Structure 1
């Protein structure tokens, strides 16, 4: 028997995806009113949520074959169609450049974030780097979900700390930077190993949730406090990064600015998973839950749509307010169409062809977006 879907967490996916959409609209469609706000922290939230939901969905007996096929069916169909759309609509000229063949192959295989080079990490549909990182997490999940979790934590913390220390203390020879050069920032911000800690925190949070199952005291206050804490971290994270950079720890600051909210995200997920407060009641509204269900498609399609609007100077022609409304309407309409007529049918077809029974919680809630 599959555990019941947690509607509040599905709805939080909508809010996190929306923050990423707004982040990519700033400075392109919308004037950069909040250019200093790290709205893209939504990706970090998804990494923590991913570890939580997978642990929640795969309680008890674990079938590795079923897990890997389900994960492939969840990510790859949407990834491949949005990647093709990005290529055809935005960059067909890349077909003339042989150097793009290797990144394209890596992209199709969801390995592109594993190579810390801009031309690989952001190839085609740039936001897909995050599901490339997710693919790495999935490969490790059958091992780290069990007794190896503590060892994985220790190894990841040691590896992350060592990498950041080396980048900030050892001079790295650099030539003229280009999209085919080694990129320390891509290593710090997009490489799966450097983002693994967030996923592991999600697993540990779900273990705590499953072992406690107690009501959260003062649930509404706890929910509000968790959201306010995330807001405060978002406001202060760039300042923290700037201060660390001033003292020579640029890459440490960069990493903390994007991943330092993971414990706050974990606490928020733990609190809202209990669904006891007044805010949870709002988040369980069917419309918000639906927006959460289509949020993976929202995430994967939004930047393509924004880039098309920029390409045709829609904001300049209409003004940024009408253009913003039109962008958001297009993003969410396209998200629903992609979800209803491609993601769901393709996923179910893959599961049918491979004779893998659909897992209701995993399929409905997903592990990412």
Structure 2
């Protein structure tokens, strides 16, 4: 693989995005209590560490933005592209959460315990998570977008610094990101409140993705088969599920996520550099299947909408039903399918057209590398 190659797309990472969104869904489904007995215990065991899927998004965000950086692009142009990609769908789902909270799903509305109306407006402006007690205001999952907005603000400066790094500097940057993640874990652990959604304390995960992409570009990433990186993720996942502190779970899975994203990027990029030859690994090839990539493209909308579906069900039909395996699984599947259907509709009706309009295009085009984000 030649270093500094450009122009290759990485659909396997888009497919992986869907799997990360799915484990977040499993985590929230476990909390919703659709099942009972052994089935519920199994779902909680599988999805108990599902909250770390957000950590995967942060690492992937750094990787993809670093990978797709446009030489000579101004900071203003970059920020405009990111606003086009994120803000329209965020605002639509924030308004939907507010409307539902004021009518049929009161836990989505402005409440004193989540900061009331000030926190709701701060959430719409992607600022709420800077105050820990406000992090669940509005659409509860959008706290991660507040973190992403902070990452975007820093990215032009970070991209220039990392873009000047050679192999040793990039490895040093990755090591520093890991060290800072440990420091953040300690800070969160000793703090009286829950700071795990504070944007500044989630920055090391994003930086790890940035430096990982730089190493892949330089041809310095180890030739690790993606299936072994996936095995490392599973080992880390088990460790995360055994840790009581939320951020300790994120910290436990960080090595596995970096290894998997770097490995998928390395193998797929290497394969695309061979003229007309698909040199990708089996896992990268499987993740690049058309249907999985399509779901990956919908994953941002799915992430934003699935908790709204669960809350509406909780407040209007049935709350924590605790059903046996067959009816509980049917209910779980129905919630999943409704969420996927809404995500597809929102992607095609709101996300893609708004993105195209803000960018000044007449129609959406096929996803560029930077559209892998989320």
Partner of 1:204: 211
* Equivalent position SS for 2:161: coil
Moved more, 47-56 or 273-282: 273-282
Q: Which of the residues 6, 9, 12 maps onto 2:10?
A: 6
Residue 355 of structure 2 is aligned to residue 326 of structure 1: no
Distance 1:265 1:165, change over 3 A: closer
Q: Matches of 1:96 and 1:263 in 2, distance apart?
A: 37
Residue 67 of structure 2 is aligned to residue 56 of structure 1: yes
Gaps of 5+ in 1: 173-182, 243-252
Residue 122 of structure 2 is aligned to residue 106 of structure 1: yes
Moved more, 310-319 or 330-339: 310-319
Offset at 1:91? 3.9
Instruction: Trace 1:1-369 onto structure 2 (pairs within 5 A).
Output: 3-31=7-35, 32-33=40-41, 34-36=43-45, 37-92=48-103, 94=109, 100-117=116-133, 120-147=134-161, 165=186, 184-185=193-194, 187=195, 189-212=196-219, 217=223, 222-239=225-242, 241-242=243-244, 253-273=245-265, 274-275=267-268, 276-311=280-315, 312-313=317-318, 316=321, 319-352=327-360, 361-362=368-369, 364-365=371-372, 367-368=373-374
Moved more, 200-209 or 28-37: 28-37
Moved more, 125-134 or 227-236: 227-236
Offset at 1:156? 7.1
Offset at 1:352? 1.2
Distance 1:326 1:315, change over 3 A: farther
Q: Deviations over 1:138-193 (max 9, x none)?
A: 11111112327879889977876666556656xx7xxxxxxxxxx621x1x10011
Distance 1:210 1:99, change over 3 A: closer
Distance 1:213 1:9, change over 3 A: farther
Offset at 1:56? 0.7
* Equivalent position SS for 2:137: coil
Report the RMSD for the aligned CA atoms in angstroms.
Answer: 3.1
Moved more, 107-116 or 275-284: 275-284
* Equivalent position SS for 1:228: helix
Q: Matches of 1:56 and 1:50 in 2, distance apart?
A: 10
Q: Matches of 1:233 and 1:95 in 2, distance apart?
A: 37
Q: Deviations over 1:24-55 (max 9, x none)?
A: 11131533324243012110001000000000
Q: TM-score, normalised by structure 2?
A: 0.80
The answer to whether the 8 Å contact 1:4/1:361 transfers is: no
* Equivalent position SS for 1:190: coil
Q: Matches of 1:315 and 1:19 in 2, distance apart?
A: 19
Q: Matches of 1:280 and 1:166 in 2, distance apart?
A: 36
The answer to whether the 8 Å contact 2:17/2:299 transfers is: yes
Moved more, 287-296 or 93-102: 93-102
Distance 1:144 1:18, change over 3 A: same
Offset at 1:76? 0.8
Q: Deviations over 1:219-259 (max 9, x none)?
A: 6xx221111211111112243x34xxxxxxxxxx4422123
Offset at 1:59? 4.3
Offset at 1:209? 0.4
Q: TM-score, normalised by structure 1?
A: 0.81
